[in-house]
Structure 1
Amino acid sequence: MEKLIGRNQWKWVDWNSEKMDLNQSSSNEGDPVMTSWLNHIGKDKTNSLRVTSLENGEKVINGSLIYKQSYSDENDYKIFHFFLTSGQLITSDLEILSMNQDALYRLLSRTNNAVEGFLLFLGELMNEMLVEIDRFEETLKILIWSVRKRNEIGILELVYKRRHELLICKNLLIPINEVKMAIDEINFLDIQDGEFFTCTCKRIERAMVLLNEYEHEIDSLINLEEVISSHRGNEIMKTLTVLTTIFTPIMAFGSLWGMNFKHMPELEWRYGYMFAIVLIIVSTALLYYFIKNKGWTGDLLKGKKKGSFFK
């Protein structure tokens, strides 16, 4: 597909890498930069960006951009390729726009050159990413309250799952920001003050701010989980230690009178059984009083309050 678009009739060529003919006509056919880019179409599987010049001295930006990535499958992603000069935009596998064709061409008709057209595409790409970030915000809010309601190992798993999703979003956003910086670096005429450059920059900045803030929130959740897990681990060890200590008299006297020695005077006592029970109860009670008086039991014997992190 090849069209003349906008006020200055810049050219947009859109190809499908699986069906395209590398010998398709182009105003820059035979240029080594164009030839090198054409040879890499369909082969590049990662983000790439080149800022260089054509033989006629015209500045050009070309590369590949991953714009969608599955959260669960590393090999499930979508990538498109682009070749951009001031008067020409060539794209391959560009399927990023959710708007209908009429609305798209109405917006493209307001652009002055190919760079503004490419910025329009990036802006729409960022718009879709911001929608995904809004969905991520909803799941993060649910997770934040789940930590308080039912703190368990499954929640910690969800926290790190959200953290992984956040890393994927940032991994998608960083190359887009790099492309914006490359356009700014070349300093195309009348681009920085245009509405498309400003709008796209604001959307990229908004997405980066949101992801950074959500990263801080998830880090706080992870720190909170680590503190709670450490505290509860200490409480469990303390509980086991205290319970073992309290039941020491029972185990000690039980072991003593469970021996099979021939001469054990206590076995002949008339009230030996009652004496043993009383001795065990009294010694256990004295030991418990001693531990509690020292403050070693703390809140171990209190039930955990619903919705509380520690109590």
Structure 2
Amino acid sequence: MAIDWKWYQVKKDEDEHIQPIFEQNRSGCNEWLNQVRKNKTNSLRIKLLDSGEKVVTGSLIYKQNFEEEGDYKIFHYYVTEEQLITVDLNFSNLKHIRPEPLFKQIKKAENAVDGFFMLLGELMHEMLVEIDQFEEALKTLIWSIRKRNGTSILEEIYMRRHELLVWKSLLIPINELKIGIEEVKLNEVSREEIFTLLVKRIERMTALLNEYEHELDSIINLEEVISSHRGNEIMKTLTVITILFTPIMAFGALWGMNFKQMPELEWRYGYLLSAIFIVISTLLLYGYLKFKGWTGDLLKGKKKDSYFK
């Protein structure tokens, strides 16, 4: 059944507008105002007054810059069945919400709780639209790994991982708010379809973030495997090259000595024989490494689209 309820939209620094509202209403408004003036983070307070009135108050960060920690938008709310107060809620920061139609829809709600749920539902809709851009960037990243797998890709992977953490930090307080509303059964005074729509959007956002998290974890695991393989290949290459050049270095060091009595100095074909000896010993050493399978894929050409090139 519809009741006569009111929605007050004010700014935190407009004391001349805020105070009259608090003088007309009770239920701990002054205490909430003190929290509004100093609170800069998400918060939630749930009260069940002696009169049986249910009150939900708190603050909610609804917009966050992914590159600047201090660049965010927060609004404060005070909700009972008969009144809704929002402080510093700026719809100009929301690209995909049309304020005028939303205001008309909220004001037609049967009570303040329905109006608040509609508001939260639109904020969730904004997040769901914005997350599509993240999905597009993630899809591009997935294919970039195959085309140009380098350090820049690894940097981009962890940028997307950070963005995902920011998205989750925005969703967690909304989910907590939903649970808190259910805790005091404030949702029971709302029309079922309105609260259900809000819940489904929260569940949808949660499912998307969980799936994206699994995708990013898989990408990170793939990158770790590729990096480990590359490191092993580099070490194997250096080891094989060192071993193959050992005969040259050993015989070079031997024949580079300057002892007075060195019989090889008088050999007519000494230079030719030493060169042949070095080549044969190097080939025999390579053959032994090849026979043991220790050269791996070092001398094989890489496939064009290989992840490990």
CA displacement at 1:81 relative to structure 2: 0.1
Q: Contact 2:113–2:187 (CA<8 Å) still a contact in 1?
A: no
Tell me the alpha carbon deviations over residues 5-40 of structure 1, each in whole angstroms, 9 at most, x when there is no partner. Answer: x95331000110022335223475454x21110112
Report the AA paired with residue 48 of structure 1. Answer: S
Larger deviation: 291-300 or 89-98?
89-98
**Gaps (5+ residues) in structure 2?**
none
Query: What is the aligned partner in structure 1 of residue 19 from structure 2?
Result: 23
Report the AA paired with residue 70 of structure 2. Answer: N
Aligned equivalent of 1:83, options 78, 86, 110: 78
CA displacement at 1:215 relative to structure 2: 0.3
C-alpha distance in 2, partners of 1:135/1:8? 40
Query: What is the aligned partner in structure 2 of residue 155 from structure 1?
Result: 153
Query: What is the aligned partner in structure 1 of residue 242 from structure 2?
Result: 244
Query: What is the aligned partner in structure 2 of residue 298 from structure 1?
Result: 296
Task: Say if 2:42 is the partner of 1:50.
Answer: no
Q: Contact 1:28–1:34 (CA<8 Å) still a contact in 2?
A: no
Q: Contact 2:56–2:79 (CA<8 Å) still a contact in 1?
A: yes
C-alpha distance in 1, partners of 2:286/2:99? 79
Task: Say if 2:185 is the partner of 1:187.
Answer: yes
Query: What TM-score do you get using the length of structure 2 for normalisation?
Result: 0.93
C-alpha distance in 2, partners of 1:300/1:61? 66
Aligned equivalent of 2:33, options 35, 38, 41: 38
Secondary structure at the residue paired with 1:270? coil
Larger deviation: 14-23 or 289-298?
14-23
Q: Contact 2:22–2:29 (CA<8 Å) still a contact in 1?
A: no
CA displacement at 1:185 relative to structure 2: 1.8
Report the AA paired with residue 153 of structure 1. Answer: T
C-alpha distance in 2, partners of 1:27/1:116? 24
Tell me the alpha carbon deviations over residues 214-249 of structure 1, each in whole angstroms, 9 at most, x when there is no partner. Answer: 000001111111111111111111111111111111
Query: What TM-score do you get using the length of structure 1 for normalisation?
Result: 0.92
Report the AA paired with residue 194 of structure 1. Answer: E
Query: What is the aligned partner in structure 1 of residue 56 from structure 2?
Result: 61
Report the AA paired with residue 153 of structure 2. Answer: I
Secondary structure at the residue paired with 2:272? helix
Q: Contact 1:8–1:112 (CA<8 Å) still a contact in 2?
A: yes
C-alpha distance in 1, partners of 2:217/2:291? 40
Q: Contact 1:11–1:88 (CA<8 Å) still a contact in 2?
A: yes
Secondary structure at the residue paired with 2:241? helix
| % same residue | 59
**Gaps (5+ residues) in structure 1?**
1-5
